Structure 1
């Protein structure tokens, strides 16, 4: 039974004074973050791959047991659209494999325009797992065509987590378990990235997560409503709710 809850990234200027003490340098934010939470998503890797020295600094800034969940390069997902990606995958994992012991699931976020195509997805998964089977993966679809039994079974066959993606903007949503790890993302119940979850909604998910933990699943949950500190408060609240639920 393992639970990991954090935020989608840690480098937000508006968190200074609210979460980060004013006296702490920006270069020390990750170290401070890691004293409060045990995991985070890496958004930078979606837009451009970080330098190896940057990744090494991140690794040295966190304690044992801390996990990073890097987002797959958009060159793979949005430009190549999952096709002919072998070279791009190599470039991505060349950066992160040196800290493989610090990695949680790799997040594969797809574009809203990418419809489900069994053959394309199956070929992508084959390329991914043929060379990089040692990693765990979570896939976040943004097109409604992915909500189908064939897609879920394909993910299930390869132990890739379907991302349970909560938002107020209509991202495809299904509470489906396709792997021995469960991955949730909370983007904001109303305004994307800038709205807070109610106590009722947090309690609902706390109960769901508690149930999955009791069943033996490893659960990863990230709050992406990072603007105005919503994510910080929501994480604190749901952690307390889960703790209470598990003690009953």
Structure 2
């Protein structure tokens, strides 16, 4: 099977303290603790505001070798500008320091608002403008605004490939033309379980799979029982082998291009009742994955 990365969306949640995080663990050590029990985390702070290079650099230093971060694109682009006139805003984002994650940088997530319908022309332009490697990203970053001076980073590891995934929340995206557009631009459609609130589709549109599990019964709250986790384990195993589940919920009747395997990134976002990290760890067990990476000589509990 190809690479499988099971993790959580964010890690700073007060209810987790004393439950997932040990009593007395310093807040600044929570990422170090989580990253030694899970293999990946979706950074969602970047969705709400521009972060700084020192933030990304610190997170790289706190996590063990082999750890991966997915980074969520800014809502200013998707929810405020609604993907129009974004040249400067996207330059600020790529200049804000995310490449300080270096080899730990995984896919970039773009979440569209529920009020945004499918607009093929707008999305085609957006997808075409997304950088596919670090050289393209730095060319975009060079157009950042002046206020970024002193809080930017215009260096990135050369030759690093960039992957993009999009999560949609409007029923008009249930259109084969949308799937064709994603495949043409090699953008992954996020498989989003949202307790029935928004579209749940599983078309394979890229060479990797991106899954967000927000709760199967109650949005952001309900945990996944053993049967549900076993079902997700079977689906992830199929995608990882380059196939797809027999009962996949599809938009398009056109099958994806064949592949010997696909990387799979899966993030639990059912954080309210402290289920996300435990569900993620149990799913790893069901998939037969090894324990999350811990660097030699480092204790299991930091600090």
Aligned mates of 1:20, 1:233 — CA distance in 2? 11
Is the 8 Å Cα contact of residues 89 and 128 (structure 1) preserved in structure 2? no
Q: 2:254 — aligned with what?
A: none
Q: 2:264 — aligned with what?
A: 219
Residue 167, structure 1, aligned to residue 194, structure 2: yes
Q: Which moved more, 1:125-134 or 1:16-25?
A: 125-134
Aligned mates of 2:226, 2:178 — CA distance in 1? 32
* 1:42-64 superposed Cα distances (whole Å, 9 cap, x missing partner): 11111111222222111111112
Aligned mates of 2:225, 2:162 — CA distance in 1? 34
Q: 2:74 — aligned with what?
A: 73
Q: 1:98 — aligned with what?
A: 100
Q: 1:203 — aligned with what?
A: 230
Q: Give the TM-score of the pair, scaled to structure 1.
A: 0.94
Residue 13, structure 1, aligned to residue 14, structure 2: yes
Q: Name the SS of the counterpart of 2:165 in structure 1.
A: strand
Is the 8 Å Cα contact of residues 38 and 281 (structure 2) preserved in structure 1? no
More helix, by proportion: 1
Q: Name the SS of the counterpart of 2:106 in structure 1.
A: coil
Aligned mates of 2:128, 2:5 — CA distance in 1? 28
Q: Name the SS of the counterpart of 1:200 in structure 2.
A: helix
Is the 8 Å Cα contact of residues 79 and 112 (structure 2) preserved in structure 1? yes
Q: What value does the CA root-mean-square deviation take over the aligned residues?
A: 1.5
Aligned mates of 1:148, 1:63 — CA distance in 2? 41
Q: Give the TM-score of the pair, scaled to structure 2.
A: 0.77
Is the 8 Å Cα contact of residues 140 and 162 (structure 1) preserved in structure 2? yes
Aligned mates of 2:90, 2:101 — CA distance in 1? 16
Q: 2:217 — aligned with what?
A: 190
Report deviation, 1:169. 4.0
Among 179, 182, 185, the alignment partner of 1:152 is 179
Q: 2:34 — aligned with what?
A: 33
Is the 8 Å Cα contact of residues 38 and 280 (structure 2) preserved in structure 1? no
Residue 111 to residue 150, structure 1, CA distance change in 2 (3 Å): same
RCO (CA 8 Å, sep 6+): is it higher in 1 or 2?
2
Q: Any gaps of 5 or more consecutive residues in structure 1? A: none
Q: Any gaps of 5 or more consecutive residues in structure 2? A: 138-159, 243-260, 290-303
Q: Which moved more, 1:91-100 or 1:220-229?
A: 91-100
Instruction: Give the ranges of 4+ consecutive aligned residues of structure 1 lying more than 6 Å apart after TM superposition.
Output: none
Q: 1:239 — aligned with what?
A: 284
Is the 8 Å Cα contact of residues 4 and 221 (structure 1) preserved in structure 2? yes
Aligned mates of 1:15, 1:233 — CA distance in 2? 11
Q: Name the SS of the counterpart of 1:197 in structure 2.
A: coil
